[in-house]
Each structure stands twice: as C-alpha cells, then as structure tokens.
A and B are shown apart, each in its own frame.
Chain A
Amino acid sequence: MSRTVIPFGPQHPVLPEPIHLDLVVEDEKVIEARPSIGFIHRGLEKLVEKKDYVEFVYVAERVCGICSFIHGQTYCQAIETLMDVKVPPRALYLRTVWGELSRIHSHLLWLGLMADSMGFESLFMHSWRVREKILNIIEATTGGRVIFGSCKIGGVRRDIEADAITGILKQIDEIEKDMRDITKVFMNDHSVKARLCGVGLLTKQEAYDFGCVGPMLRASGVSQDMRRLGYAAFSDISVEPVVRTEGDCYARCAVRCEELFQSVRIIRTALDEIPGGEIAVKVTGNPSGETLARTEQPRGEVVYHIKANATKNLQRFRVRTPTFANLPAMLKVLPGCDLADVPVIVLTIDPCISCTER
C-alpha cells in the first residue's frame, strides 16, 4: 500500500489554530502525524527585558485571545506572591467571576468549533450566538470583549456595582437556558455521537503518563482541577472536578458541557456572596525572588514561572501552557484514525497555539 503525505494546516477551513501537521496516510487511515509549530511565535518571553513588570500585565493578557483573562490573573498572582501583596477579598471574587465568564466563553467557542469540524454549521452558529451574550456581559463590566484589561497587580481596575450584579444574574439565567438547549444537541444527537464516540481513545494511565491537563485528563478518569488549590475566591467556593471515564472525544465534549453549568453555579455563588470593600491595593517597589503560579485555564493547568531580581524588569518569565502539555497526547491518538477524524481529534485537545508558542 502506498503512503501519501498530506499537509494539514496552518491554514485550513476546519483548523482553528495555526498548527501544521504532516499526515502520513495509507488509504484514509492516518499512520503518523509529524507536527510543526512556530507560526505565531512572538517572543513574548523575551519582552520582559523591555517592559517593566507593571506594564507586562498587558503583554501577559495578550498571550492568548481566548484564555486572556486567566493569563493576566496568573501573572498578577505570581507577582503578588513575590511582593507579598494582600489582595482585597472583593477583588478576588471579581477575578473569580471574570475568570468563570472567560471559561464559559471559551467552552462555548470550542463547542462551536467542534460542531464546525463535524460540518454541523447551524449548531456552530447557535453556540456562538450564546457566546455573544456572554461577551456582552464582559464588555459591559470590563470594557473589552475578548481582552478584558481588568486585572492589575494588587487587585482589579474596575468594580461591578450592585445593580449591574442583579442584571448579570438575570442574564445568566437566560444564558443557562440557551446552553441547555445546545448541550442537549451535543450530548444526544445521533450524528454528533457517531462522529465523537470511540474516537481518540486515551486510557487513564496514558493520559497521566503523557502529562495531559484539563478536560483532556478529566475525561479519562483522573480527577484533577487547579481550582482546588484555592486561589482567588476558590478558597471559599469549593469546586468538584467534572470527571468522565470513557476517554474518547465524546467524554471530553461532555466534560466541557458540564463545566459550562459548573461555571454558571460558581458565578452565581460568587456574585451572591461578594464582599464589600476596596478593589485594589497600591503596590510599590520591585519584585525579587522566584515563584510558580498555577491556575486552571479553560484548557487545563497553566504554570507561570517568574524570576525577579529587585529591578523593574523581570529576569525570567516562563509559561507552561495547557495546550503544550496536551500536544503529545494528541500525537499519540492521531495514528490509527481516519482522515476525517483528524479535525475532530485536533480540536478535542482544545488547541490554543498562540498560548503554546507565545
């Protein structure tokens, strides 16, 4: 049987992110996948040498467009640990609310792209229609739809007033109803199940050994969620990781669908229990020392390693993003699948290549 090499990406109608895969196929079955990344490497880690640590919040937010807020939040958390800054409780709750809104918008985006990769365009449009409502809430509270610009070292830059909170809770109720309609289709529809069930199987041991994080790991039966570390308001709000055991694309879709509703519950709890007080503390001086900050992004665990030497520029800024941890598992799962399953499998890790490459 002769083998063909099909280049997939970086530009492809169903590929959401610019990753390049050389797929070695034998009659529609993928034998091997050779990745190439580096199309959107922007050298953001080197930029710490030019921008001081206060301005760098804006750069950290722009590492990725989809998970932007939690990047900014993790960076602020790392610097606050180094400088021993006590963030006011109201700011912690506001960060949690925005982080969970960010998670809902990211998962709705992913659901739309997953439907699009299967050719289910109308479901794609419906998912993104609901996502627009979330983006409207985010724009009303932070000023930006995708890049929030609301996190700063020492707290947050904007507050959400009491009448705005009531409005948001009402809108969240309507959005939850819309999300139920959409997730019902994802979980029950025959054609969706035919494309997702049994595709991209990853056992529990394999998921753990490959170092997977996030929904990729939780769908294979490992119960791990960085929100249990207790950062932001999660020291008061408990989170049970959403776990499935099947380990295929359908299980990952189910985990993300269930996480939508979990985030809605967290937002409701946080907005009901939000304490009063100030939203930021003044921070002066320069950070020094070394720290690791870990948070749960929509795609999994992100690790920020920051090294500072008491000057206004940081010495080292290293980010281990969740997609980077999930890529080896994707390359393990691709051989043996059909060519038509390649977009489904690439999307199942929820790739965010701009995070991976910075």
Chain B
Amino acid sequence: MSYFSMSKLAFKWVFSKPATTSYPFLPRIEMEGTRGWLVFNDDNCVYCNVCAKKCPTGALQVIRAEKTLTIDRLSCITCGCCVEICPKNSFEFSSGHGTPQTAKGRETYQKKEDNP
C-alpha cells in the first residue's frame, strides 16, 4: 500500500514536454496509409459503375451518360472498397480530414471535356 505511487509519474511529467501536439502551431503527425479522406481522380475513370455497386453505404453514384460521379461525403465510411475495386485506380486515400459541412450535400465530379 503506498500513498505516493503517483508521484513518480506526476513528477516526471512536470518536467517533460506535453504529450499532445500543439496543433495548429506544430504540424499534425500524418499517418501513411490512413483512411482519412477519399480523393477521386477522373483522369482515367471510364464510369463503369463498379465502385458504386461495391460501396456498402451507397455513397457513390455514377451516371455514365452524363459522365458524372457523385460522392455523398456524409455516407462515406472510408472503408476503401472503391479504392480496391476500381480497375483504373481512380480513388485513393489522402491523410487529410474532411472539411466541415453545413448542409447535407453531395460532391459531383463532372468529366472535363477534352479540348478539340
């Protein structure tokens, strides 16, 4: 039974730097391979709809005729199924985090027309 068992730990931490990162004054430690934020790159996308079929929450919607891909950010659980299944590797995860949203909305990516 000890009355001062916490003192060693407390004393050590009085003279140490805090364990928390002083974000935003210091940069955030970013983990490689984290499933932070889904990024869509429409360079090679052929609008095959495989990602939308595989998405477990239905957050992706592809309209082939109009060449649009819509991501419902609030439904996306960043599971990575679309990243794995896309035959053209159009999806990837970045280590950022989502921006605040003030309304339930969807982001639609429209294929840019090639210059004639």
Contacts and interface: CB of A to CB of B under 8 A. Distances in A.
Interface of A: 51, 55, 58-59, 122-123, 126, 129, 132, 136, 139-141, 143-144, 147, 149, 157-158, 181-182, 184-185, 188-190, 193
A190 B56 contact: no
Main secondary structure of the interface of B (DSSP, over half): loop
Given A58-B77, A185-B5, A190-B1, A143 B10 contact: no
B32 interface: yes
Contacts of B56: 51, 55, 58-59
Given A123-B6, A181-B8, A129 B19 contact: yes
B93 A143 contact: yes
A136 B35 CA distance: 13
Interface residues of B, number: 23
Contact of B31 (A51, A126, A140): A140
Contacts of B25: none
Interface of B: 1-3, 5-6, 8-10, 13, 19, 31-35, 56-57, 77-80, 84, 93
Given A129-B19, A144-B78, A190-B1, A149 B6 contact: no
A193 B84 CA distance: 51
A329 B6 CA distance: 32
Given A58-B57, A122-B6, A136-B31, 8 more contacts: A55-B56, A139-B31, A143-B33, A143-B80, A149-B77, A149-B79, A188-B2, A189-B6
B79 to A, nearest CB: 5
B35 A149 contact: yes
Contacts of A184: 5
B78 A181 contact: no
A270 B9 CA distance: 31
A192 B68 CA distance: 60
B9 A185 contact: yes
A11 to B, nearest CB: 25
Contacts of A143: 33-35, 78, 80, 93
A189 B6 CA distance: 7
Given A129-B19, A149-B80, A157-B84, A185 B6 contact: yes
B19 A139 contact: no
Nearest to B36: A143
